């Protein structure tokens, strides 16, 4: 008896014909894979977008920025302190003067942060993060203001407790929805403050307030509003980025003359960025792993449907074997069918993930990468192969006589 030796292309065509006969079942069978791939792509896109957003924010500060903050922010391993951060000291202008005397050419920028209600004739915003800063702060932290949107505050305005304010792009629109805020008055702590500048749009935030929703006032005015001269953070701008590590050591020595070394933290933007990215990566991996469970569930669904398919097509398998089809050909055809179902779900999932990323990116940072797409498709293909083996082996081992007798 002549045996049938179909080529791989023939088996592939036969698999496609079998799948196309029941389109509804094909979609339902692939649903688990579709959901899994879509979830994996969306979560990795959000994770990648968050990393890019954080990197962009710190790049705006520059790689030569050093931060001095009360309390111990980092642990011995370089990660964030997981325990409650105890703040036992408060910085003041004496600390700033002490640093200026000892750091030579480095730029020292003290910052006071308060939360105040801001009102305009058209709207009111509650608990707006209001940063008290010096005239050096804006130009050295990349807070750009277009020429037609005003300017940053001057040293004279800071020295004289001037009642002026600079608004973030979104805050300005919220307070003055019908026109420009420039030159208008807003009320803060019962005082009328003139809007002298509107910061250029910076974009989405990390789920919290972004610079677009901040307000900036002179440091001396912030002291007057708060009733004290506490400084939340001191930023040191080093001229040469290669001197950052050396300057950090020197700052630690200087501040240790006034405070216990465990009472404050000295760190640069790269150190903070590294710690934040490590947290984002861990969360992304954990959430992606959870989402990937649906891929396993989808694979089990494919296996179950393929086992049912083997039962439904028992007589077909028996007839093919009776005319000389190799068990290997039967195995490959059913394995192809399972893989095609899985790949089909993967492709649909990739398309939905891409569209979902575009939709999310309008409200939250999300970046789709080729690597995440390739990985999701590869995993979905492997799921089809792994979970398709059992039904394929069952089909290939059927006895042709018993199969032909099957009703």
**66 found inside a domain:** no
- At residue 295, the pLDDT reads 76
**Residue that finishes a domain, picked among 231, 248, 268:** 231
Tokens at residue 334, please?
A: 């059913």
Mean of pLDDT values over 156-177: 93
- At residue 3, the pLDDT reads 47
**217 found inside a domain:** yes
The residues facing 192 across adjacent strands are 187
378 and 286 belong to one structural domain:
yes
Q: What angle do CA 172, 221, 203 make, to 5 degrees?
A: 30
> What is d(CA 317, CA 175) in angstroms, rounded to the nearest whole number?
73
392 and 287 belong to one structural domain:
yes
DSSP 181: -
> What is d(CA 311, CA 305) in angstroms, rounded to the nearest whole number?
10
Tokens at residue 259, please?
A: 């405070």
Residue-number span of the structural domain to which 385 is assigned? 8-55+276-405
Q: What angle do CA 136, 139, 140 make, to 5 degrees?
A: 75
Domains contained in the chain, number: 2
13 and 122 belong to one structural domain:
no
Question: Which of 294, 269, 351 minimizes the C-alpha distance to 33?
Answer: 294
**155 found inside a domain:** yes
DSSP secondary structure of 247-297: HHHHHHHHHHTTS-GGGEEEEEHHHHHHHHHHHHHHHHHHHHHHHHHHHHH
Mean of pLDDT values over 51-59: 70
pTM of this structure: 0.64
- The packing angle between helices 327-360 and 370-396, to 10°, is 150
* pLDDT, greater one: 196 or 379: 196
**79 found inside a domain:** no
Q: How confident is the model at residue 369 (pLDDT cuts 50, 70, 90)?
A: confident
Sign of CA dihedral 88, 93, 99, 102: negative
Q: What angle do CA 112, 199, 270 make, to 5 degrees?
A: 60
**Residue that finishes a domain, picked among 215, 231, 247:** 231
**65 found inside a domain:** no
**39 found inside a domain:** yes
**96 found inside a domain:** no
- At residue 314, the pLDDT reads 67
133 and 30 belong to one structural domain:
no
Task: Please tell me whether residue 90 adopts helix, strand or coil conformation.
Answer: coil
Query: What are the tens digits of pLDDT across the range 244-290?
Result: 888 889 999 999 988 888 888 888 877 667 767 777 777 777 777 77
- At residue 206, the pLDDT reads 46
* pLDDT, greater one: 208 or 158: 158
385 and 323 belong to one structural domain:
yes
**248 found inside a domain:** no
Taking 70 as the threshold, does the pLDDT of residue 399 lie above it?
no
DSSP secondary structure of 5-44: ---HHHHHHHHHHHHHT-HHHHHHHTHHHHHHHHHHHHHH
């Amino acid at each position: 008896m002549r045996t049938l030796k179909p080529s791989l292309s023939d088996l592939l065509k036969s698999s496609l014909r079998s799948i196309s006969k029941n389109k509804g079942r094909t979609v339902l069978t692939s649903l688990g894979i579709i959901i899994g791939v879509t979830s994996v792509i969306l979560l990795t896109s959000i994770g990648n977008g968050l990393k890019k957003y954080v990197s962009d924010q710190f790049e705006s500060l520059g790689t030569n920025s050093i931060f001095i903050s009360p309390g111990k922010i980092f642990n011995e391993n370089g990660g964030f302190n997981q325990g409650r951060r105890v703040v036992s000291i408060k910085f003041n202008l004496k600390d700033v003067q002490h640093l200026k005397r000892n750091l030579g050419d480095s730029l020292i920028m003290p910052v006071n942060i308060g939360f105040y209600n801001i009102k305009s004739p058209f709207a009111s915003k509650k608990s707006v993060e209001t940063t008290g800063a010096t005239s050096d702060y804006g130009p050295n932290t990349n807070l750009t203001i277009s020429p037609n949107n005003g300017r940053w505050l001057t040293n004279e305005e800071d020295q004289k407790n001037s009642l002026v304010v600079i608004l973030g792009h979104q805050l300005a629109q919220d307070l003055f929805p019908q026109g420009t805020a420039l030159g208008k008055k807003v009320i803060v702590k019962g005082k009328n403050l003139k809007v002298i500048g509107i910061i250029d749009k910076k974009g989405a935030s990390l789920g919290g307030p972004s610079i677009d929703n901040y307000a900036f006032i002179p440091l001396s005015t912030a002291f007057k509003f708060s009733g004290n001269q506490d400084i939340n953070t001191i930023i040191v701008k080093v001229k040469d980025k290669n001197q950052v590590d050396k300057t950090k050591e020197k700052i630690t020595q200087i501040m240790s003359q006034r405070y216990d070394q465990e009472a404050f933290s000295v760190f640069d933007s790269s150190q903070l960025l590294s710690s934040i990215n490590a947290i984002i990566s861990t969360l992304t991996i954990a959430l992606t792993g959870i989402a990937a469970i649906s891929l396993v569930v989808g694979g089990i669904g494919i296996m179950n449907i393929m086992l049912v398919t083997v039962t439904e097509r028992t007589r077909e398998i028996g007839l093919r074997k009776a005319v000389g089809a190799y068990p290997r050909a039967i195995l490959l055809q059913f394995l192809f069918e399972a893989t095609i179902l899985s790949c089909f779900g993967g492709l649909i999932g990739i398309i939905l993930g891409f569209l979902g990323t575009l939709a999310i990116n309008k409200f939250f940072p999300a970046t789709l990468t080729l690597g995440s797409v390739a990985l999701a498709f590869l995993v979905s293909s492997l799921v089809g192969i792994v979970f398709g083996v059992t039904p394929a082996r069952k089909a290939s081992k059927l006895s042709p006589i018993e199969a032909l007798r099957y009703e």
